[in-house]
Amino acid sequence: MNVDGYINNRFSFDGYTSTKISFDNNTSSWVMRSLTNPELNASAAVVDYPIGIHTWKVNSPDGVQDMELNLNACDDLSDFTCRDGACVPIRARCDGSDDCNDATDEADCDRIILPENYKHERPPVASAGRKLAKIELSIDIILVLDVAEIESKVEYQFWLTLRWKDARITFKNLKDANFLNTVETEEAKKIWYPRILFYNTRAKQETRVIR
Ligand SMILES: [Ca+2]
């Protein structure tokens, strides 16, 4: 989209192929016209420039419908377009900090997509040659809090790490830094995860989903 001229005290725009956009004083709205199809046009009741996402009323031989269109000058490959039309580097998308003035780079940052037939109570299918899905478990002891020989009791603080593959899940919005790829609690509740019962403990604790 290029600046094409100056109409009704506002710049007008020339699309890359066959569209012109200009302000209409009579209707106080922006009008988009097709140069190849005179029956196709759209209008948006925006007083300021219609940059970013706006609802356009599209008129065509098939009827009238409202559509959200995004006018911007962002690079399709290297930029994310904020709702207000501003451009930020694509790496700023879902990185945990607001880069767009309207914070839309941090909107809809879900991490997982599940198929419709996903059942979180069913474990993933085992890989070829295995009967059950493989789960890797590791425990890093952070601190020994107490050792009571008479009571035959020890008390630890530890990190428990579980790793498994679930081919049913598609991940999105992933970043290079792992700490930015946390699946939030509500999303985590939707997927299957292994439950570990610490049988030889006083309360027989079980793992819970936290993140
Ligand atoms: Ca961001």
Cα(118) to centroid(ligand 1), Å: 30
Mean pLDDT of 193-197: 88
- Cβ contact 41:33 at 8 Å: yes
Q: What is the pTM of this model?
A: 0.62
Q: What residues have their beta carbon closer than 5 A to ion ligand 1?
A: 92, 95, 97, 99, 105
- Cβ contact 103:93 at 8 Å: no
Using a pLDDT cut of 90, give the percent of the chain over it.
49
Per-residue pLDDT, 130: 83
Which domains are seen in the chain, by residue range?
A: 2-71 (no CATH), 79-109 (4.10.400), 110-211 (no CATH)
Per-residue pLDDT, 141: 95
Cα(84) to centroid(ligand 1), Å: 15
Give the tens place of pLDDT for each residue, 127-163.
Answer: 888 888 899 999 999 999 999 999 888 998 999 999 9
Angle among Cα 152, 156, 138 to the nearest 5 degrees reads 115
